[in-house]
């Protein structure tokens, strides 16, 4: 530190010496050997061929209150006035008057020559004209003996002329009616025209160096302040430098007024304000640097008094405030001396504030130099010194030293911060490692908690709940435990991704991905989470949207983050995902009708741990959007908030590149469908033919290579393997072929995802009729749960093991065969319930009709034949058309109507739309048989049976109603007990129907009755 301070001191003094030397070396003003005496200056021996100029200092003839006519003889004897200097004339009352008109006259003895001479006039207050040998050569303003004819201006100017003979008579008319000091405050320089030009250039350059240096220094400090707003010292010092620069430009040689045409009143206000405004900014700077050394009341007093005087300057004309300028200038010096004394006193007392001992001493010396510079500059303005070289250099050196000190302080602060930053980085690294290890350790117990709570919830609604082991509050707590654990598990995964981002270890595997399918999969995952919310998901992604070039898993993660946020902040309404091609990319928009956010939060939400809404109210960690933006950056995409309004909703938009290569590969795959390796009609692999295939498998995958692998896996098994390259093709094949026993279904496919295809399959086939195995690379709990909810029988995780695939497939096929055998046994058992006495009674009715109505007897025999044929069908389908089931019912009804004649009336109320819908066989006919046998025929007067079948959207409603004897409440309960059914030889049909309805549809028979009045048996099922 000592070396640095010594370096600063040496640099400061070196700069001072260099500037002072340069000013002196470039100064070509010659020192007068003899000043003017009694209005005469002898320069006959002076060499005007050089570029040096001489000042016309000395005694000039002085004529008060009159402007002598050039070339004429004065009417009064002259007085003498020292130039440079101010004049004051004694009034009749003995006072001194500085306002009026005067004439200066000087005779200069010259060597006769044809030289072009020149004069340099810096300041003659307040209007002047110059005559040489009776000719007007220059002027500024209009001097006059009366104020009404007078016009002030007072600009620096040059005068050029030639002299005939050996004498140059120089007459200056001057007038002053505004300033408190009239006269010629600075030297007038005389020389050749070239010398005057060089003097003017030298003066201008010297002032410009000073002004530009201060302006640059001030702008630099203000620029740093814009970056470091908390450092007010930079602001005050920067403003001080700029104001001092303006003060130099408007005072002294006044190059501002010389080169800029300003109104006189405005110029003098700028001159005064810049001179005194620097006091305010400088004392504020000093106070900021020396916080504890300067009393607060002193700073406030200086600022208020100076601000008051500046206001006075701005509001009054020049003539009013000019007489107080000198007083306030002296007051300014006194204030600086007081401040300097206070700082020196603190230094001697050992109170250094934010400084060290040496830096405070350096600052005191620099400020002392500034005060010396102001004092020297003030002497120059008062015509007590011929120049302000010392003040020029001192003020400039102070500004640079103060800037160095500021830089030094901030350098020290930077070193301190740098050291702290290194420690913080180490601590942050340790924190990251701790979080990483902790997150890994959290995963296993969290998965255990989630699985245990889920298991308890699944069993809690069953036997345990019936036994009273789990109350409603316990189940609610289990839901809370499970959901909280899932959120914590998600946070753990986010933290792991965040660590990968920090370490640049987050990788993506780019390929062609279908956005619509990804959106569909994400919506499927969130269906469970919106339970209780009035939210509707809308997948508005076009079916023929080009594929994107992205990481399939990471794209789903991004969509899950965006949809998760939308679900979190939307209480009711819609969450819509749209996509379209824009500027050669795919733009995806996720819109919701939630709480929205303010414009100020649009950028903040993409920062880690930043949220637009209170985490206490909505939860979350603020990592999702940050991670999504990083992932999209890795996939050459972008993300932004497209629009958002409070209480209106939000639209998040991200872009991804179009997968050109993927489109080409799809074209090749379409072409491959026409190749001989795939059967054009069915998509069946041309594997080695087998004479006997026990089962037929359908493999569905959009990658031909995966289909080839699956075919080879079952090459030595007694299976026929069919291929389908997308979901739509698979559904078409299932419609055309009824011999498919199992489907191997990829989850991620274009157009339709595996989940959507599985749901479509389940609309036609039950879990045991057609098992579905999902093939996927994602094995998360939510993915597996979504797959099972869609209707899958099993999951196989890619990359899969061939033995595992064969084992799982074989197990499901054996289970399917076992279920089919069990169902056949059920139907056979139901068929065996046809009573012999029913046949006996039917035959007796036919015999009786043969004698009276042969045609009707013939029809009755045909109905009995149809009934028996359908009842004893050895290979019934698992499902039959409702139309076929009703034909069986009608055959049975026709036979019974022949027996009971008017006692039996059967009414059909059937929606024609349901006739081509499938239903389980032998479900309606046994109900009608029960209604006839145990209902209306038990009454002597008989009754009516009404069969009603209706369709509402995707649900079929079936009801068999009769107005027979009815059933008691206890009788209804006894219908479902096997003991009652066995003992009374009835009810077996109802038990069988009930079991099959529960198995295939998850529905049950609903029996209601009023004893002695009516009975209704109903059931429903989705198609």
- Which residues fall within 8 angstroms of residue 787, CB to CB, at 6 or more apart? 747, 754, 755, 758, 774, 776, 795
Q: Rounded to whole angstroms, how far apart are CA atoms 597 and 612?
A: 6
Mean pLDDT across the stretch 169-188?
A: 88
> According to the model, what pLDDT value does residue 605 have?
81
Report CA torsion sign: 924, 925, 929, 932: positive
Per-residue confidence band for 1002, with pLDDT thresholds at 50, 70 and 90: confident
* DSSP state for residue 800 in the 8-state scheme: P
CATH of region 695-831: 3.40.50.2300
15, pLDDT greater than 70 = no
137, pLDDT greater than 90 = yes
770 in Cβ contact with 761 (< 8 Å): yes
Look-up: residue for tokens 């190749």? 675
731 in Cβ contact with 760 (< 8 Å): yes
Q: CATH fold of 38-197, please?
A: Jelly Rolls (2.60.120)
- Which residues fall within 8 angstroms of residue 492, CB to CB, at 6 or more apart? 439, 442, 443, 446
SS3 string of 105-121? EEEEECCCCCCEEEEEE
Work out the end-to-end distance of the chain between its first and last CA atoms, rounded to an integer number of angstroms: 89
Tokens linked to 901: 């004649």
Q: Rounded to whole angstroms, how far apart are CA atoms 332 and 305?
A: 11
Name the range with the highest mean pLDDT among 302-316, 549-563, 612-626: 302-316
* SS3 call for 794: strand
655 in Cβ contact with 637 (< 8 Å): yes
694, pLDDT greater than 60 = yes
Q: Which one is predicted more confidently, 35 or 16?
A: 35
pLDDT in tens, 428-465: 777 667 666 666 666 667 666 766 676 676 666 544 44
Tokens linked to 891: 């055959």
Q: How do 955-962 and 1014-1022 pair as beta strands?
A: antiparallel
Q: How far is CA 960 from the centre of its chain?
A: 63
Lowest-confidence range among 241-255, 592-606, 659-673, 989-1003?
659-673
Per-residue confidence band for 823, with pLDDT thresholds at 50, 70 and 90: low
> According to the model, what pLDDT value does residue 445 have?
74
Query: What percentage of the chain reaches a pLDDT higher than 70?
Result: 76
Mean pLDDT across the stretch 671-677?
A: 38
Please report, for residues 743, 794, 806, 991, the alpha-carbon distance to residue 811 in angstroms, rounded to integers and kept in the order given: 13, 11, 9, 29
Under CATH, to which class is 502-663 assigned? alpha beta
Q: How do 116-121 and 157-162 pair as beta strands?
A: antiparallel
Q: In 3D, which of 608, 605, 610, 506 has the Cα closest to residue 562?
A: 605
> According to the model, what pLDDT value does residue 24 have?
53
Per-residue confidence band for 738, with pLDDT thresholds at 50, 70 and 90: confident
Under CATH, to which class is 833-979+986-1022 assigned? alpha beta
pLDDT in tens, 55-99: 898 999 999 888 888 877 777 788 899 888 888 765 555 455 778
506, pLDDT greater than 80 = no
> According to the model, what pLDDT value does residue 684 have?
38
Q: Rounded to whole angstroms, how far apart are CA atoms 708 and 716?
A: 14
> According to the model, what pLDDT value does residue 1018 have?
92
> According to the model, what pLDDT value does residue 926 have?
84
959, pLDDT greater than 90 = yes
What is the longest distance spanned by two Cα atoms in the chain?
177
33, pLDDT greater than 90 = no
CA-derived radius of gyration, the chain: 54
682, pLDDT greater than 60 = no
> According to the model, what pLDDT value does residue 849 have?
57
> According to the model, what pLDDT value does residue 109 have?
93
Per-residue confidence band for 607, with pLDDT thresholds at 50, 70 and 90: confident
Q: Rounded to whole angstroms, how far apart are CA atoms 592 and 538?
A: 10
SS3 string of 546-602? CCEEECHHHHHHHHHHHHHHHHHCCCEEEEEEEEEEECCEEEEEEEECCCCCCHHHC
Average pLDDT along the chain = 78
469, pLDDT greater than 80 = no
The pTM for the full model equals: 0.44
pLDDT in tens, 317-372: 887 887 788 788 888 889 989 998 998 988 888 888 877 787 888 888 888 888 88
Q: In 3D, which of 640, 535, 527 has the Cα closest to residue 590?
A: 640
Query: What percentage of the chain reaches a pLDDT higher than 90?
Result: 13
Per-residue confidence band for 873, with pLDDT thresholds at 50, 70 and 90: low
Per-residue confidence band for 834, with pLDDT thresholds at 50, 70 and 90: low
> According to the model, what pLDDT value does residue 957 have?
93
103, pLDDT greater than 90 = yes
777, pLDDT greater than 80 = no
Angle at 794 between CA 681 and CA 878, to 5 degrees: 60
pLDDT in tens, 547-588: 888 888 888 888 988 888 888 888 888 899 999 998 888 999
> According to the model, what pLDDT value does residue 599 have?
84
Per-residue confidence band for 127, with pLDDT thresholds at 50, 70 and 90: very high
939, pLDDT greater than 70 = yes
Q: Rounded to whole angstroms, how far apart are CA atoms 867 and 888?
A: 6
Q: Rounded to whole angstroms, how far apart are CA atoms 38 and 60?
A: 6
25, pLDDT greater than 70 = no
């Amino acid at each position: 530190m000592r070396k640095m301070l010594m370096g600063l001191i040496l640099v400061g003094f070196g700069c001072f010496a260099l500037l002072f030397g340069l000013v002196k070396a470039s100064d070509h003003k010659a020192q007068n050997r003899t000043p003017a005496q009694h209005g005469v200056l002898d320069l006959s021996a002076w060499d005007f061929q050089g570029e040096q100029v001489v000042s016309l200092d000395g005694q000039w003839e002085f004529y008060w209150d009159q402007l002598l006519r050039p070339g004429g003889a004065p009417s009064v004897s002259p007085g003498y006035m020292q130039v440079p200097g101010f004049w004051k004339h004694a009034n009749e009352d003995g006072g001194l008057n500085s306002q009026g008109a005067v004439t200066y006259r000087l005779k200069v003895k010259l060597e006769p020559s044809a030289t072009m001479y020149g004069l340099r006039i810096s300041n003659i207050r307040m209007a002047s004209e110059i005559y040489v040998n009776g000719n007007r050569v220059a002027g500024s303003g209009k001097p006059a003996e009366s104020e009404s004819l007078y016009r002030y201006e007072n600009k620096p100017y040059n005068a050029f002329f030639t002299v005939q003979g050996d004498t140059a008579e120089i007459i200056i008319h001057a007038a002053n009616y505004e300033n408190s000091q009239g006269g010629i405050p600075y030297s007038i320089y005389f020389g050749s025209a070239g010398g005057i030009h060089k003097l003017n250039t030298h003066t201008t350059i010297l002032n410009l160096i000073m002004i530009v240096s201060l302006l640059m220094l001030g702008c630099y400090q203000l620029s740093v302040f814009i970056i470091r707003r908390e450092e007010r010292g930079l602001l005050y010092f920067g403003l001080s430098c700029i104001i001092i620069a303006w003060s130099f430009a408007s005072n002294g040689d006044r190059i501002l007024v010389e080169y800029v045409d300003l109104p006189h009143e405005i110029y003098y206000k700028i001159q005064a304000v810049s001179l005194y405004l620097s006091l305010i900014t400088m004392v504020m700077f000093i106070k900021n640097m020396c916080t504890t050394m300067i009393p607060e009341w002193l700073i406030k007093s200086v600022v208020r008094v100076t601000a008051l005087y500046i206001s006075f300057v701005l509001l009054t004309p020049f003539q009013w405030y000019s007489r107080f300028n000198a007083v306030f200038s002296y007051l300014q010096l006194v204030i600086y001396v007081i401040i300097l004394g206070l700082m020196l006193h603190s230094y001697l007392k050992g109170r250094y504030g934010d400084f060290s001992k040496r830096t405070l001493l350096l600052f005191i010396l620099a400020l002392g130099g500034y005060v010396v510079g102001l004092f020297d500059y003030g002497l120059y303005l008062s015509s007590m010194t011929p120049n302000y070289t010392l003040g020029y250099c001192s003020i400039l050196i102070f500004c640079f030293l103060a800037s160095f000190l500021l830089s030094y302080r901030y350098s020290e602060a930077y070193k301190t911060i740098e050291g702290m930053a290194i420690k913080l980085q180490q601590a942050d690294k340790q924190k990251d490692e701790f979080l990483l290890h902790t997150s890994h350790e959290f995963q296993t117990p969290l998965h255990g908690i989630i699985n245990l709570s889920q298991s308890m919830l699944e069993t809690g609604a069953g036997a345990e709940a019936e036994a009273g082991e789990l109350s409603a509050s316990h189940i609610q707590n289990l839901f809370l435990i499970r959901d909280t654990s899932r959120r914590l598990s998600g946070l753990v995964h986010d933290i792991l991704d965040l660590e990968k981002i920090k370490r640049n270890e987050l990788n993506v595997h780019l390929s062609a991905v279908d956005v619509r399918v990804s959106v569909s999969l994400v919506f499927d995952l969130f269906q469970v989470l919106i339970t209780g919310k009035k939210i509707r998901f809308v997948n508005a992604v076009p079916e023929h949207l080009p594929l994107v070039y992205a990481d399939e898993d990471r794209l789903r993660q991004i969509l899950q983050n965006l949809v998760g946020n939308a679900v979190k902040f939307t209480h009711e309404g819609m969450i819509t995902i749209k996509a379209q091609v824009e500027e050669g990319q795919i733009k995806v928009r996720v819109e919701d009708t939630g709480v929205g956010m303010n414009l100020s939060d649009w950028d903040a939400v993409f920062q880690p741990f930043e949220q637009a809404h209170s985490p206490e109210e909505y939860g979350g960690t603020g990592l999702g959007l940050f991670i999504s933006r990083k992932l999209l950056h890795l996939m050459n995409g972008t993300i932004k908030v497209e629009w958002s309004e409070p209480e209106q909703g939000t639209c998040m938009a991200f872009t991804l590149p179009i997968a050109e290569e993927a489109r080409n590969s799809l074209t090749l795959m379409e072409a491959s469908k026409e190749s001989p390796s795939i059967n054009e009609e069915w998509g069946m692999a041309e594997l080695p033919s087998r004479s006997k295939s026990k089962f037929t498998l359908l493999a569905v995958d959009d990658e031909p290579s995966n289909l080839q692998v699956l075919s080879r896996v079952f090459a030595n098994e007694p299976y026929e393997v069919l291929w389908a390259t997308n979901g739509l093709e698979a559904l078409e094949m299932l419609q055309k072929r009824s011999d498919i026993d199992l489907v191997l279904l990829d989850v991620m496919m274009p157009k339709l995802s595996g989940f959507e295809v599985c749901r479509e399959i389940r609309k036609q086939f039950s879990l045991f009729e057609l098992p579905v195995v999902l093939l996927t690379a994602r094995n998360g709990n939510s993915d597996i749960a979504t797959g099972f909810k869609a209707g899958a029988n099993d999951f196989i995780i890619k990359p899969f093991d061939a033995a595992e695939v064969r084992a799982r497939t074989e197990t499901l096929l054996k289970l399917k065969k076992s279920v089919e055998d069990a169902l056949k046994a059920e139907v056979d058992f139901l068929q065996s319930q046809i009573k012999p006495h029913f046949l006996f009674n039917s035959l007796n009715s036919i015999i009786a009709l043969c004698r009276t109505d042969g045609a009707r007897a013939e029809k009755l025999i045909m109905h009995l034949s149809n009934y028996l044929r359908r009842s004893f069908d050895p290979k019934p389908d698992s499902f039959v058309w409702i139309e076929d089931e009703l034909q069986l019912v009608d055959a049975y009804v026709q036979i019974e109507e022949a027996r009971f004649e008017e006692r039996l009336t059967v009414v059909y109320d059937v929606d024609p739309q349901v006739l081509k819908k499938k239903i389980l066989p032998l479900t309606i006919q046994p109900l009608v048989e029960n209604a006839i046998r145990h209902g209306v025929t038990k009454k002597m007067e008989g009754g009516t049976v009404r069969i009603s079948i209706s369709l509402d959207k995707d649900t079929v409603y079936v009801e068999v109603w009769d107005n027979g004897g009815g059933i008691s409440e206890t009788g209804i309960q006894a219908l479902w007990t096997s003991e009652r059914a066995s003992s009374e030889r009835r009810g077996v049909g109802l038990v069988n129907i009930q079991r099959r309805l529960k198995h295939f549809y998850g529905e049950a028979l609903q029996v209601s009755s009023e004893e002695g009045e009516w009975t209704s048996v109903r059931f429903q099922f989705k198609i």
